[in-house]
């Protein structure tokens, strides 16, 4: 599935991933390929994704995620230090 992580300042990541774990406002949750459509608020925490070659983490300060037809768009408020 295709993942984009965007902040107001820049695009953090864009590429193909197999799984993404989000810090949801009601607890963490995961999305895999062909997931049902979804829009959710994100809390401050670690967003983790797995590409073909590696696992990566991005600490976000909150935001929104949209999942639709194997495309995941994360609009993050910002990246935590």
Rounded mean pLDDT for each run of 10 residues along the chain, 81 residues in total: 96 97 94 94 97 96 95 95 69
Identify the CATH homologous superfamily for domain 2-76: F0F1 ATP synthase delta/epsilon subunit, N-terminal (2.60.15.10)
**pLDDT score of 25:** 87
Q: How far apart are the C-alpha atoms of 47 and 20, rounded to whole Å?
A: 7
Model-wide pTM > 0.85: yes
Give the three-state DSSP class for 24.
Answer: strand
**pLDDT score of 5:** 97
Sequence ranges of the domains in the chain: 2-76
Structure-token match 């935001």, residue found: 63
């Amino acid at each position: 599935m295709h993942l984009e992580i965007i902040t107001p300042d820049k695009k953090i990541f864009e590429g193909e991933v197999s799984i993404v774990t989000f810090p949801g406002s009601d607890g963490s949750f995961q999305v895999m390929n062909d997931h049902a459509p979804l829009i959710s608020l994100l809390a401050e925490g670690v967003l983790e994704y797995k590409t073909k070659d590696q696992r990566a983490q991005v600490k976000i300060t909150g935001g929104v995620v949209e999942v639709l037809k194997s495309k995941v768009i994360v609009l993050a408020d910002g990246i935590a230090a």
